[in-house]
Structure 1
Amino acid sequence: MGKKRPREKAGALQDNPNAQPAKKSKKIPRTDLKPGSLIEKSLQNLSSAKVNVRIAAAEGLILATFAKESTNIHTVKDVLSKLLQGICSSQKTTRSGFFTALTEFLRQLYESDDQYGLALSISDLIDLVKKQSKLESQNEATDSQIGRVSAYAAIIRSSILFRSEASRQHGTKLLEDLFRLYTKSPSAREESAHLLVGCLKSAKGEARFLSEAVCQLDSNGLSKTPEGVTIWLTISSIEPKAKLPKGVWRHRDPLDSRERESISAILKEASVTGENAKCEATLSHSVNLAWDVVMLHMIQRLEQRKLSTETIIAFSKFWSDLVDVNMCAPSAPFHHKQASILISSKILSTCPNWVLPAIFSPNLMKFLGDQRNNTKQREHNPASIFLHAIEERARISPGDCVVLVSQLLQKDHTNFDQAMKFRVMERILVAADESSLLEISSVLEACLLRSEDRDSKSAATQRRWLADLIVVVVKSRTHIPSVSMDPGVNWLVCTLGILAKAAYLDEDKLDTIPNPNLSSETRSMFHTKLLTCLTHVVSAKSKENNAAYPYLMVNLFKPMLDVAGKTGIVASISDKEVRQLLQSSYSVLASITDAITSSQTDNSLTHQAFRLTMCFSIFQVYSGDVDAASVIEELISSWSPGENSPTYQSDVVSQLTEVTLSFVSRQSAVLRKVGEVVFTSFASNVGRDSLDALLAILQKSENLDGQNELFDADGGAEENDVGNVEIDLDVEVIGGPGNDSEDEASSDEEESEEGSATSSGSDGDEGPAEQESEGDQAELLKFDLLLADALKTGQDGEDDSDEDMDDEQMMALEPHLAKIFKERTKITSRKKENKDAKETILNFKNRVLDLLHIYVKQEHAKPLALDTISPLLRLIRTTTNRQTAEKGFACLKTYFDACKGKELPVPGEGEGIDLELLLAHIHEEASKDGSKMFSIACSRASLFVVRVLVHMDPANYARAVDVYAETQKKWFLDSKSKLQASFFTQWASWSVNSRKREQPWESKDGNTIASGDFNKV
C-alpha cells in the first residue's frame, strides 16, 4: 500500500493536467514531543503577540524540559531543534519569544556537566545554528540571516562563551561569521544591531571578547556605518579596558567635536528605517538605533559634568549640528526633515528636562509650522507626531510643563496655526501641577506684556490668545487653592493678578512696561476675562471659601487709593467723591469680612453675597463703568455692622436683588454670569419681596410702555448699554436659539408632551405679531391718505387732470409735503424704538428666568417657590417670543422635577399661601387661549399643586376633585372654551395611577380613604 500511493498521485496528475502538484513542505526533524504536552503548548505560546504570555511560555518550557525526573537526551535535542527553527521565523514577535527561550535553554544546558548526555560543544552549536538557518530560497535570506544573528546573540547573552578559556576561543569564530553576515546583508543590519547591542551588555567584563568584536567590526569595514557607531559606543561605554582600533576616530571617540561632520553624514544615512523610507507621508517607521545611542551617550557624558549653562550650550550646539542644520536646513530633502521629527519626538519623550530647550531648534520648529499650515497634508501630518509627543511629555512629567510652555511661546515658533497651538498649550496647562503653574504664570505675564509683535493689531490678537489660555488654566483645575495660602505661592492669585493688573493699572505701575501699549479694547478684554475666571472660581464646588477670591483681587488696588494725586488706576477715578467712595467701600469690605468670620451660618451667607456684590461693583468702576459708582453708594448705605434683625436681612437681600438685576439687564454675557453667581450666593435668603420683584418683571408688556415702566429716565440709556464690554466677545444676541433649556425628562409621556410643546410653542405667538403688523399698516394707510389729500388725488383710481402743476402750485405744496414726510420719519423712528424696546424687555425677561431657574432648583422645597407658578404660566401664554416661552416652560419643569419624591413644599398657616386658591387660578389660566406648550404647562402645574395638597393631607384629594369638577362643568357648558380635553384625561390618568399603593391612605382626622400613590405626577 505504501508503494501504490505515489503512483496513484502521479496517475491522477496525468489524468487531470490542470491539477496542481502538492507543495513541497519543509522537512521538520522527527520529534518525540507528544501533542498536547506542556512542552508542545509552551512552544506554541512562544509565538504569542503578548509579552507576558511569551515570558510565561519560556519559563514553562525550561521547567518542563529540564525537570530532573523526565529529562532525556531526545527531549533536549528536539526542543533545541524547535527553538532554532522558531528563531528563524519571519515574524518578529515569534523570534522574540524563541530568543528568550533559547537564551535560558542554553544557560541551563551548559550548566550541566554532561549536558544531559547531549555532549554538544560550542563549535558544534555554532555549526548547528548555521545548518538550521541554511537558506532555503532567496526570499527567506533576510529572515534566515536575522535568525542566525538572533541565535548568535542568544549564545552571547547566555554567557556560555565565557564559562572557560576553551569556550572563549570559540567566540572569535562566532564573531567572524556574525560580521560576515553584516557585510552580506545590509537590509538586516539594523535589526541585527538591536540584538547585538543588547547581548554585548551581558558581556561586560569580557574585555578580550569585546575588543575582538570591535576589531572584527573594523576589519569588515563597518566602523563608519550607523550600526558600527552604535556597537563602537556601546562597547566603549560598558568596557573601558577594551582595546579599540587606532586611526578610525580621533581619540577613538565618534563623539569627538572634530568628528562632528563625519558623524553627521553617517547619521544622515540612518534617518529612517524600513522600505520606501524616502516616501513622503510615511510616518510609521522607527528611529534608527544609532540616533538613540548617540544622543544617549552624549547626554550621559554631559551629565557627568556639573550641570551648568555651558553644559546646556554644549548640547544645543551638538543638537544643532546633528539635527537642526544636518536634517532640517531649508535646502534639506523632505524625507530628512520628516525623519528629524521622528528623532525629535523620540528624544523628547525620554530626555532629561535640561535637554528640552535644545530640541525646539529654529529650523525644526519652522518646518513643523509649515507642515501644520499645509492644507494639502492634513492627514498624517508630520507635525502631529511632535505635538503629540509634547502632550505626552506634559502628561507624564507635569514638572516639565514650564519649559514646554516657554519654548512654544517663543517668537521663532509662532508660525504654528493658532488653533493647533492653542490646543497643545491647553493640554500642557491642564497637565501642569500647581508648582509649575506658579512659574507658568510668570511666563504668560512676560509674553502678555512684552509682545514680540510690534504691530498693535497683532499684539492685541496675541494678548487675547494668551488671556484665553489663562481662562483655560483656571477652568480646567479641579482643585481650587485655599484662600488662606500665601498669595506669593498661590498660583491662582498670581494668575488672576495678571489679568487684573493688565486690565486696570497704568502702564508705569506694572512690573514690566507693555510694548506695544495696552489699548482700551485690550484692557476691556482683560476685564471680561477676569470676571469670567472669578465667576468660575466662585461657583466651583469646593470645601474652600472660593467667594473670597474676588476680595483678594480687589485688595490688590487698595494701597493705590491711599496715594494722593494719581492713583495708578487707568479708569478716571481722580474725582474726589469717587475716590472717597472707593475708600469707603474698602472699609465696608473689611467690616463685612470680619462679620463673615464671626457670624452664624445664615447671616454669613448674606454677608458673603454682600461682599461678592461689592467686589464686582468695584471691578466695574475700575473698568470705567460710571453707573457702578451709584451701586456701590447704595450698598454702603445699606450696610449696618452688627445688625441681624429679620427686617434688616430682608432689606439687604432686596438691595442685593436690585444689584443683581442691574447686572443681568446688561447685554453682556459675563455680567449675566456675575449676576447669576451673586444671586446663587444669597438665593437661600430670598424673601417674598425680592421674589415678587423678579416675578413682576415677567408681567411687563413687551413694548415701549413696558420699557418705560422698568427703566426711569436716567436709566433709559442703561437698557441698551453694554458697559465697557468687549465688542463681539461679550455682547449677547437677543432672540437667538435658547441654550439654557433643560435636557432632562422624567418619563416617556413627559418627553412626548414637551416635544409637542416646543414644536408647537409658536401657535399662540401669532396674535401679538399680527396686531403689530396691523398697527404698522394702519400707520402707512394714514400716511397715504395725507399724501393723497395734499396732492388732491383719490385712493380709488380717479382720473387726474391732464394738466401738470405749475411752479407756483409746486411751491405752495412743498411745506405740506415736508410736514407729511416728517410725520412719516417719526412713524419709522417710533417703530424702531418699539422694536428695540421689545428686544430689551425680552432680554431682561430671559435673564430673570435664568435667576428663577436657579431659585426653584436650589430652593424647591420652600413653600415660597409656589408663588412662581402662576406668573410663569401667564408668561408662557402672553409672551411674543418663543425662546422666552420655552425658558419659562423649562423653569417650571425644573421645579416640578426637583420636587419628585418626598421633597415637596409644605406651606405653613402663617405663610399666606392658599393652595386651593392657587389651584383655582391655574384652572382659570388654563381656560384662556394659548399654545400647546401652555396647555401642557397648565396641566402639569395643576397636578403638581394637587400633589402638594395630598402630601399635606390625603383628605385634600376631595377638594381637588371639586375644583376639577367645577372646571369641567364650565368647559362642558361653554362651547367656545379654549381649555384642552387632555387637561382632564391627564388628571384621570394621574388619579388611576395614584391608587396603585399597597397601603390605604389615612387622613389627619383618622378617616381611611382610597389607596393611591400621591407622590408622582
Structure 2
Amino acid sequence: MSKKRKREVDIELVQVYEQLADEDETTRLKAAHTLVSKIFKPGVTSDEQTRTILTRLFRGLCSGRKAARLGFSVALTELLSQLSSDPSVGEELSATAIIDILESQTVAEGGTSRQDERDHYFGRVFAADAVLKSGMLFQKPHQDQWLRVLSLLCALAIKKPWLRQECGWLLATCIASSSGETAQAFAVDAIETLSTNKLIRTPEGVAIWLTTVRVFPHAKLPKSTWKHGDPLARKDVALLADTLKDARTQPEADPDSEAQGSARWSANLHFAWDVVLGELIRDFPTTVDGDKNGTNGTKKNERITFEMFWKKVVDESLFSSASSSERKAWGFALWKKTLETAPRELLQSTFTPQATSCLANSLKSSERHLQRHALKVSQAFPTRFAAPDTDVPSQGFTGACIRALLQSVSYGDFDLITKSKTMQSLVDVNDEGILMAIASALASLATEATPDEDEKQLLTRQKALINLQYKVVTASLRNAEHNEPSGNSERALAARSIMKVWVQDASTSTHSESLKTYKAHFAPKLMGDAREFMKERLTLGFEQALRLGAYGCRILRDTVLVIHSMEKQHKLTSIMFEEDVGHLVRQAWQRLKSFSLSFDAASKTSSTKSGSGKAVKDSVSGLDEESFPTHIDGVCLLFCLVLFQIYTGEHDAVEILQDLLDSQASWTDGKEKKVVDEQGGEPADAMMEIILSFASRPSKFLKRITVQIFDAFAPHVTRIGLESLTRILAAKENAQGQQEMFQADDVDMQDGEDASTDQEEGSLGSDVEVESIANDASHLEDAKSASSSDEDDSGDEDETGDEDEELAAFDAALASALGTRRLDQNDVAAADDESESSSDADMDDDEMMELDSKLAEVFRGRNEQSSKNKKKEAKDAKENVVNFKNRVLDLMESYLKHQQQNPLCIHLILPLLRLVRTTQTKQLADRGFNTLQQYWGRCKGSNVPTLSTESEAQEATDILQSIHEEACMESPSAHSTATSHTSILLVKTLVESDAANIGSIVEIYAATRLRQLTDPKCRVLPGFFTDWNNWCQTAKGKLAG
C-alpha cells in the first residue's frame, strides 16, 4: 500500500515538474501553487522528501528547456519562504544545508558541453535570486550563509563578466527591498565583500553603494572604498564617468583608485544608470536650494549636480567623438529615460552641443541600432513640451530643445538633413498653449544676433526659422479647423501671432531703416530673400486660414489691419508712397475699417439672437457662419488682398485699388438708387474683372480667396458677369488665346516681325555668296554698334536680359567666324577712317569655302535657338491659358454649388459642354465633365433652377436646343454623356417651371430624332434617347395628372 501511494506521489510530482516548465505563465503559476499547497504539507511531508523536492527544483533551474527557469524559480522561492517560517524544520533543511544544495546542484559536471556549462551558471544566478527573495537568510540571521552567497555571486561575476550585471542587480534589489538592523549589517557585508573582490568600482558597485546609502542612511560603510567617501563626489566625477561606462582606466599611482571595468558591452542600458539618475533627481531640490538641516545639506552639496553629471559623465564620455557607437546608444537610452523621468527644470541641461550634434548625426546614420535609439530620443522631445514655457525666460525646455536642434545642423532643415520628422513632430501637437510656447521660442531665436555670421549664414538661419514658424502656423490653423471652439477662447492664437509679425516685417522691411521707432523682429536685419520667403509663407498661411470660413476671413482682416496700426505709429504711407498713391491707400483703409466695424456689429447681433450654443460659436468666430460670405465680406476680402499686395511691394495692385474704389462706390450708389449701369449690368459685374485679374495668377492663396470673394458677389452677378467667365473657357489654348484673355494688343505686330525675321534668316544657306554675307555681317555689326550707342544715350531698358544675352552670343559667334571682334563705340570712328584695302584682301577658294561653312553654322545655330525660344513661349502660353481656365472652373464649380437654383446656372452648361468637346487638354475636359456631373447630380426632384419669368423659360428652351445641337456633333464619350444628362436637367427645369413646356420639349427631341435618321453627319448616340425615354416613364404620372 505504501509503495502504491509513493508511486502516485511521484507521478503527481512529475506532472508538476512538467507544468513548471510550460511556456504559459498561468500554467506555471498553477503548478507552483500545487507544489507548495498540496504536495508539500508542513508537518506531513518528511524532511527527506522535502530535500528531494528542493534538490529537484535547484537542478531544474539549470535546465534550458522551455521556460523551466522561470517556473522552477517561482516554486523554489515560495517553498523556501514556507520552510523559513516553519519552526519544525530539522537540520537537513537548515540554511546551511540549503546553500549546500544550491552550490552542489549548480556546478556543471566535468566533460559537459559549453552550453550545459552556461546553463548551470544561469541556474546559480536564479538559485541565488530565489534564496534572497525568500528572505530565509534575514528572518533568522544567518550571516555566515549570507557571506557564502555573496562569495558565490562575486566569484561568478569575476569568472563570467557577462553575468556580473545580473549578480549586481540581485544584490541591489535585495538591499532595496529589505529593512531592519540585520538587513543593514548584511548590506555593509555586501559592500565589504565587493571591495575585497575589487568589484566596488564597477557599475554594480556604484548601484549597490548608492542603494545602501539611500535605504540605510546611518550605515557605517568603509571609508577607504571611495576616495572622497561617495561615488557621486564632485572631485571623483571623472572616476564615476569611467566606472559607469564600464571601462578600465589607465593604471595610476594608486591602483585602488581606478575603475574596475569588464571591457564587455551590453545592448541594454546598465541598471546602475537608473540608480544614479534617480539619486540625482532626488538630490535636485537640495542641490539647488541647499539643505536647511545643516550637516546633511553640506554632504549633499559635495555631490555633483545633474548638470555636472550630464556634462562630464554623459556628454564628454558617452557622446564624445571618440566614443563607440555602442556607448552612444547607451547615451541615447539614458537621454530617453531622463526625458521620461526627470523634472522639466533639469531637462534643459541635456541639450549640450555635443549631444545634439551626435543626435543629428545618428538620425542619418547607416547603423540601424544607433539610428533606432536616436529616433526614440527625438520622439520623446514633444512629450515634455508644456504651455507654461511661453512665459519662462528663453521658453524653458521648449526653447532649449528647438535652439539646440537648429544649432546642431547650423540652422539648416533638420528634418531634411537627418531624414527624419523630428521638427515636424514637435509642432504636430493638438495644444494651442504648446504651439504658443514654440512660437515664442522661435521669435526669441529670430532676435538673437549671432557673432561672426556672414550674410549667407544669416539668410539660412532666417529661412529656417521662418519655415518652422510656418509649420507652427499650419498646425495651429489645422487644430482650429478640426476642433470646435470652447467658451470665449480664441482659436489659432499661435498662427495669428506669427502672421501679425510676418505682415509687419513683410510690409516694412524695405523701409525699416527709415522707421526709427520700429522694432525689428529679426536681428540684425531681415534679408531680402528671407523677406520674399516670408511673404510666400504668409500667403500660404492666409490660404489655410481661409479654409476656416468666416473665422479665417477675420484672421486675414485682423492681420492686414496690423499694417494700419503701424501706419498710425510710423506714418508708413508718407514714407512708402507718393502723394496720389497715398491718397488712394488712405481711402482704402477708411473703407476697410468701416466694413470691419459692420462685421463685428452684425456678428454681435446674430450671436445675441442665436441659441446659447450657436451664440458661443458666433461670438468666437466674429462672423455669422450661416450667411458667410456676404457682399460686405467680399469687399472686405478684396480690400485686404489689394492693400496687402501694395504694402508688400506689388505696385501693380495700385491700379486694381483704383478700380476697386470706383466699383465699390458704384455699388453703393447703385443700391441707394436701385439702378444698374449703362450696359445693363449690376455693379457686381464690374467686380468680376477684378476677381479674374487675381484668379489668373498661379497662387494657392489667390485661388482660394478669389473663390470666396466670388461667392460673396455671386448672388448679385448678372448674365453679363458670367459671360466674362464663359469667354475665357472659349479661348484657344495657345498664344492667340493668351493674347485674347490678357489683352496684349502688341502681340500681333511682334509676331509679324518675328516671322519676317525668321523667314529672312531661314533663306540664308550654305551656298550664299561670301562677299554678300560678309558685307551683310559688316553692316549688321555697324548697325548693332550704332543701336548700342543710341540705347546708351537714351537709357532705354525695354529689352529683357535674356534677349541681350542671346544677341551677344550671336555677335560673338559671328565675329569668331569672320576672324574679327565685336566693335565697341571707340572702334566706330576708327573704322570710318580706315581704307577699304583690308576688306578687299584677296581670299582663295579654300578660305572662302571654310568661311562659308562657318557662317552657315552660325546662322543655323541662331535659327535653332529661335525655334527653341518659340517652342518655350508656346508651351508657356498654353500653361498660362490652362491655368486660367482651371481657375475659372473653380469659380464655376462654386457658383453651381451655392447658386444651384439660380436660373443663371443654366447659362454655364453650354460653355462647359463646349469645353469638354473642344479642349486638347484632357485634364480640362475631365474637369469640365466632373463639374457638370456634380451639378446634375445635385439637381434632384424639385431642387432645380427656378424659372420665374417667360423670358427665362424661353432662354432655357434655347439652351436645350443648343444642347441637342452639341449632342449631334462628333465628340468623346464624356461629352455625349454630359449632353444627355444636361438635356434631361433642362427638361426637368422647364417642366418644373410650367408643365405646358412639355410640348416644345417633345418637338426638340423629335427634331433631333429626325436629324439622327436623315442627316449622315449627325453623331447623336442611342443613349441620348434612352435617357429621354426613361425620364418620360418617370414623369408620365405627374404630367398625366
Which bin holds the TM-score, normalised by the shorter protein?
0.7 to 0.9
CA deviation after TM superposition for structure 1 residue 114, in Å: 5.3
Specify the code of the residue in structure 2 equivalent to 1:528: E
The 2-side partners of 1:574 and 1:126 are apart by: 103
Specify the code of the residue in structure 2 equivalent to 1:224: R
Specify the code of the residue in structure 1 equivalent to 2:379: E
Change (3 A) 1:222 1:626: same
Picking from 558, 561, 581, the partner of 2:564 is: 558
Matched residue, 2:405: 408
Matched residue, 1:391: 379
Specify the code of the residue in structure 2 equivalent to 1:611: C
Specify the code of the residue in structure 2 equivalent to 1:290: A
CA deviation after TM superposition for structure 1 residue 548, in Å: 1.0
Change (3 A) 1:393 1:41: farther
Change (3 A) 1:243 1:836: closer
Change (3 A) 1:950 1:113: farther
Higher helix share: 2
TM-score by length of 1: 0.73
CA deviation after TM superposition for structure 1 residue 1003, in Å: 2.7
TM-score by length of 2: 0.72
Matched residue, 2:502: 499
Change (3 A) 1:598 1:346: closer
The 2-side partners of 1:455 and 1:889 are apart by: 55
Specify the code of the residue in structure 1 equivalent to 2:444: A
Q: Which ranges in structure 2 are unaligned for 5 or more consecutive residues?
A: 1-6, 249-260, 291-300, 388-396, 607-623, 787-858
Superposed CA deviations along residues 737-796 of structure 1, whole A, max 9, x for unmatched, are xxxxxxxxxxxxxxxxxxxxxxxxxxxxxxxxxxx9xx99999799869998xx9x9xxx
Residues 690-705 of structure 1 mapped to structure 2, 5 A cutoff: 690-702=721-733
Superposed CA deviations along residues 592-615 of structure 1, whole A, max 9, x for unmatched, are 324532676676531333323322
Q: Secondary structure at 1:286's aligned position in 2?
A: coil
CA deviation after TM superposition for structure 1 residue 906, in Å: 4.9
Matched residue, 1:182: 157
Superposed CA deviations along residues 862-885 of structure 1, whole A, max 9, x for unmatched, are 654343221101122233444333
- Does 1:467 pair with 2:489? no
CA contact 1:324–1:364 (8 Å) conserved in 2: yes
The 1-side partners of 2:876 and 2:535 are apart by: 27
- Does 1:593 pair with 2:632? no
Q: Bigger shift: 492-501 or 208-217?
A: 492-501
Matched residue, 1:930: 971
Picking from 189, 196, 203, the partner of 1:226 is: 203
- Does 1:426 pair with 2:466? no
Residues 737-752 of structure 1 mapped to structure 2, 5 A cutoff: none
Matched residue, 1:967: 1008
CA deviation after TM superposition for structure 1 residue 419, in Å: 0.3
Q: Secondary structure at 2:421's aligned position in 1?
A: helix
CA deviation after TM superposition for structure 1 residue 427, in Å: 0.7
Change (3 A) 1:945 1:78: farther
- Does 1:353 pair with 2:344? yes
CA deviation after TM superposition for structure 1 residue 216, in Å: 1.6
Residues 596-615 of structure 1 mapped to structure 2, 5 A cutoff: 596-597=602-603, 605-606=629-630, 607-615=632-640
Residues 35-184 of structure 1 mapped to structure 2, 5 A cutoff: 43-44=20-21, 47-48=23-24, 54=25, 56-57=26-27, 60-61=30-31, 63-65=33-35, 73=45, 84=58, 87-90=61-64, 95=69, 99=73, 102-104=76-78, 106-107=80-81, 110-111=84-85, 120-136=93-109, 137=112, 138-165=114-141, 167=142, 170-184=145-159
Residues 817-966 of structure 1 mapped to structure 2, 5 A cutoff: 839-860=879-900, 864-899=904-939, 904-910=943-949, 912=952, 917-942=958-983, 945=986, 963-966=1004-1007
Matched residue, 2:271: 289
The 2-side partners of 1:201 and 1:813 are apart by: 99
The 2-side partners of 1:701 and 1:96 are apart by: 81
Specify the code of the residue in structure 2 equivalent to 1:293: V
The 2-side partners of 1:646 and 1:599 are apart by: 27
Change (3 A) 1:147 1:632: farther
CA deviation after TM superposition for structure 1 residue 591, in Å: 3.4
CA deviation after TM superposition for structure 1 residue 532, in Å: 1.1
- Does 1:269 pair with 2:246? yes
Superposed CA deviations along residues 268-312 of structure 1, whole A, max 9, x for unmatched, are 3269xxx99999xxxx9212223332233223223433469x999
The 2-side partners of 1:916 and 1:450 are apart by: 71
- Does 1:322 pair with 2:313? yes
Specify the code of the residue in structure 1 equivalent to 2:469: I
CA deviation after TM superposition for structure 1 residue 255, in Å: 0.9
CA contact 2:73–2:127 (8 Å) conserved in 1: yes
The 1-side partners of 2:197 and 2:893 are apart by: 83
Q: Secondary structure at 1:479's aligned position in 2?
A: helix
Matched residue, 2:235: 258
Superposed CA deviations along residues 595-643 of structure 1, whole A, max 9, x for unmatched, are 5326766765313333233222221121122233344455455268899
Matched residue, 1:520: 528
Q: Bigger shift: 877-886 or 532-541?
A: 877-886
Picking from 172, 185, 190, the partner of 1:197 is: 172
Q: Bigger shift: 938-947 or 67-76?
A: 67-76
- Does 1:536 pair with 2:544? yes
Q: Secondary structure at 2:368's aligned position in 1?
A: coil
CA deviation after TM superposition for structure 1 residue 387, in Å: 3.6
The 2-side partners of 1:511 and 1:809 are apart by: 63
Q: Secondary structure at 2:971's aligned position in 1?
A: coil
The 2-side partners of 1:182 and 1:988 are apart by: 91
Q: Bigger shift: 359-368 or 635-644?
A: 635-644
Percent of aligned positions that are identical? 26
The 2-side partners of 1:833 and 1:295 are apart by: 68
CA deviation after TM superposition for structure 1 residue 176, in Å: 2.9
Change (3 A) 1:839 1:252: closer
Residues 475-494 of structure 1 mapped to structure 2, 5 A cutoff: 475-477=474-476, 478-480=478-480, 490-494=493-497
Specify the code of the residue in structure 1 equivalent to 2:602: I
Q: Which ranges in structure 1 are unaligned for 5 or more consecutive residues?
A: 1-27, 49-53, 720-771, 1008-1017
CA deviation after TM superposition for structure 1 residue 470, in Å: 2.3
CA deviation after TM superposition for structure 1 residue 504, in Å: 1.8
Change (3 A) 1:99 1:654: farther
Superposed CA deviations along residues 476-523 of structure 1, whole A, max 9, x for unmatched, are 344229699788993232222232233123445554464453233322
Matched residue, 1:1010: none
Matched residue, 1:304: 286
- Does 1:546 pair with 2:570? no
Specify the code of the residue in structure 2 equivalent to 1:608: D
CA contact 1:102–1:154 (8 Å) conserved in 2: yes
- Does 1:340 pair with 2:347? no
Superposed CA deviations along residues 543-585 of structure 1, whole A, max 9, x for unmatched, are x833211122122222322247556987889954145234424
Change (3 A) 1:988 1:370: same
CA contact 2:287–2:305 (8 Å) conserved in 1: no
Q: Secondary structure at 2:245's aligned position in 1?
A: helix
CA deviation after TM superposition for structure 1 residue 207, in Å: 1.0
CA contact 1:395–1:431 (8 Å) conserved in 2: no
The 2-side partners of 1:444 and 1:813 are apart by: 60
Tell me the C-alpha RMSD between the 2 structures: 5.2
